[in-house]
Amino acid sequence: MKKTAFVFLGAVIVSAAVGGLAGWSINKYSEGGSADAIYHAAAGDDGAVVRDTMPKAGTHFTAYQADQYPDLTYAAENAVKAVVNIESIREVQYGGSRSYDPFFDFFGIPYGYGGEPQTREQRAGGSGVIISADGYIVTNNHVVEESTKLKVKLNDGRLFDAELVGTDPTTDIALIKIDGEDLPTLPFGNSDELRLGEWVLAIGSPFDLQSTITAGIVSAKARDLGVIPNEARIESFIQTDAAVNPGNSGGALVNTRGELVGINTVIKSSTGSYVGYSFAVPETIVRKVVVDLKEYGVVQRAILGVSYRAIDQAFIEQLGEETGIKTPGGLYVASVVDGSAASEAGIRKGDIIVAIDGAKTDDASTMMEKMAQHRPNDKVKITLMRDGDKKAVVAVLKNKVGKNEMMTRDMVDVAAELGGKFADAGKKICDKLEIRGGVQVVSVTRGGLLERARVREGFIITHINDRQISSVSDMQRMTDRVESIDGIYPDGRAASYVIVQ
């Protein structure tokens, strides 16, 4: 069985020789006409055969406009000027003893005692897009994360040092800045207006081949792949068949007018290189994240306060009899958070959300994309079905702590600050350890508070800043800086950590 790997496109720079595979297609022609036209024969008044060479549209076809064939040269020659190569330099430690021994920990002997670790530089390559003449550049978070130095090379060969403005791991978008004037820029388009089959260009630096342009079509929209490594990820990718490879990350997906409609992010591949499909974060999400990072320093997340499930054939087979739902379409509201925007708008468990601000919501990724475009205190019109009747309500969205105000830079994303992946501690382990709940550390990210405090995987956090933490949602609602962590390891050893900033 073939294994499918989702490969983020930023990678350590390598060189590769790529072979080509020639292919051809054979068009069969019928006598007297091309396979491109549908021929209908009929006898005229004089007995001659009259052929109708006009193609017949299917029952659901849109109007065909023959004068609108794409010319990709305009978009390519202009957009390429604003796409840059990014070199991310990271300091990596190696050597020294890294094994954990509670004896050393108890006596305060530093973790890694037994040998001084060495430091070396690790370099990785990616792409970015200049969006303002004074040097703001949008790219992927995974291109710049954990970097200690960033270098940007422009299409004309100029080289700049860059500084990190802000990142959003939930969408894999980051904003960096170089010190420049009158730089070439790429205007934002509108990814909502993209049509299936529309031509697009992918521009970036695969395998360090700067300013590489490939073309393809929009294969699908609103793809949710589950690949962004963040608990609160927001995925609604544009799928294309434009060829992209490692190093294309953060590069531009451009329409035929030379407008930015997406940021190339990931490929679906069994080899680690392009084999047919690539995925881009849509412009609607990118634009919102960039504006938030520039204006507020943090991304403003708007919360409706419902859990939901797409009503598809699997839903109908599993829950159709119980819910009385027999037709696919919409999102089934499984629960509503007390005091949330949804609760205050009158949304109930069992409602079916069919549209937000007039846009159909038949899948979770569309819902995520629409919500990602809003900020706290925004009003959204939600169309829903209840007991067979259509109903419209207006919800005033809230932030993650249940308020209508904007988040500030001083308000901390606790999960991001801790640095790691987390999951609710299961009932079995809670019963065994005799705790009321907690958040288990699934993995520890380099450079975060958990690593610096020498917290190991498996640790169950029960309190942060002396505040009880029973679930991941409890932790996500916190906005204060972390000063202390209390909890217990699966072997029953309790531990407390004081964070020195």
The residues carrying an active-site annotation are: 142, 172, 249
The SS3 assignment for 94 reads: strand
DSSP 209-258: -TTEEEEEEEEEEEE--S-SSSTT----EEEE-S---TT-TT-EEE-TTS
Q: Are 130 and 118 in contact (CB under 8 A)?
A: no
Contact 372, 397 (CB under 8 A): no
Compute the distance between CA of residue 219 and CA of residue 349 in angstroms, rounded to an integer.
Answer: 35
CA distances for 213 relative to 73, 250, 438, angstroms = 11, 14, 49
Identify which of 353, 172, 199, 176 has the alpha carbon closest to the alpha carbon of residue 266: 172
Half-sphere exposure of 352 (CA within 13 A, CB side): 22
Exposed, middle or buried: residue 105 (CB in 10 Å: 0-12, 13-18, 19+)?
A: middle
CA dihedral 60, 64, 69, 74 (to 10 degrees): -70
Amino acid letter at 42? A
- Which secondary structure element, helix H or strand E, spans residue 168, and what is its range? strand 159-168
- Element containing residue 104 per DSSP (H, E): helix 102-106
User: Ramachandran region of residue 32, left (φ > 0), alpha (ψ -120 to 50) or beta?
Assistant: left
Q: Give the relative orientation of helices 364-372 and 283-295 as an angle to the nearest 10 degrees.
A: 30
